[in-house]
A and B are shown apart, each in its own frame.
Chain A
Amino acid sequence: MIDPGLYNYWIVVVLMMAGFFIVISHGNLVKKIVGLNIFQTSVFILYISFGKVTDATAPILDEAYSEYSNPLPHVLILTAIVVGVATSALGLALIVRIREAYGTVEEDEIIAQDPDS
């Protein structure tokens, strides 16, 4: 019998695969960035769910509580969220430049315009 306590991982896998599908099946570059963001958030949820402890509270010290969730994944994901936005911004800037150079944001039209590839 499979334990239901694993459902957090299955949610992560479903979200991750949804993002992955968007990235590899769509030719539109903006949609690819949205897919990457969904993929990224699924990894965030994976890490945060590693740090969750049953009956514990948020890791802010207080006299009334003694059990806290693991603060380390929270720190790592805080960094990852901000870095993720920075990389998204770079990707979107590249899309703007590609649109100015090729007049389209569809992958196959760009490849068709490039005789070398």
Chain B
Amino acid sequence: MHLRNLFAVVMLSGIYSLLSAGIFVQLDAVDVAFTEAAVGAGITTILMLGTLALTTDTERPPVKRQWLPLAVVLTTGAALIYGTLDLPLLGDPSAPANLHVAPRYIEQSGQEIGVPNIVTSVLASYRGYDTLGEVTVIFTAGIGVMMLLGANRRRKRKKDQP
């Protein structure tokens, strides 16, 4: 947090992303780990490095110490920790999240969809509309990025040819 060199900050965030992919493997979420390692650690780091290349890679030192953000963060954190005390334990098979639709997916997706990977069958078939919505979001974000960066390039070209 005290690093002023943004290049190092971006590299550390890439390493953090890769470590979290390791956590996902440990928690049996292999598909998520693949995606996090490829997209989170790879593409995000590249995008950030691109931004640094287009802007600046050093942060100006802060003007003053900030105690208010620290106080806000500690209070919120304490409230959240208090809130976790009622939650189901890690790995509990009878936790509410594991009782609703997940058993049906696990028992029947093999016959209904015919793909061994349950995550794939849920993603592409049972919750296909979610994935369609995801594609819409990515498409919109892509258009947004193109408009933000493309409009600027057009203006520069106009400036070059008066």
Using CB atoms and an 8 Å cutoff, list the residues of chain A in contact with chain B: 2-3, 5-10, 13-14, 16-18, 20-22, 24-28, 30-31, 33-34, 37-38, 41, 44-45, 48-62, 67-79, 81-90, 92-97, 99-100, 105-106, 108-109
CB distance from B50 to the nearest CB of A (A): 7
A45 pairs with B85, CB closer than 8 A: no
Asked whether, in the complex, the Cβ of A16 is within 8 Å of the Cβ of B80, the reply is yes
Enumerate chain B interface residues (CB-CB to A < 8 A). 1, 6, 9-10, 13, 16-17, 20, 23-24, 27-32, 35-36, 39-40, 43-44, 47-48, 50-52, 54-56, 59-60, 62-63, 66, 69-70, 72-74, 76-77, 80-81, 84-85, 87, 89-93, 95, 97-98, 101-102, 105-106, 109-110, 116-119, 122-123, 127, 130-131, 134, 137-138, 140-142, 144-145, 148-149, 152
Beta-carbon contact of B116 and A48 below 8 Å: no
* Interface residues of B, dominant DSSP: helix
Q: Which of A6, A33, A59, A100 contacts B119 (CB 8 A)?
A: A59
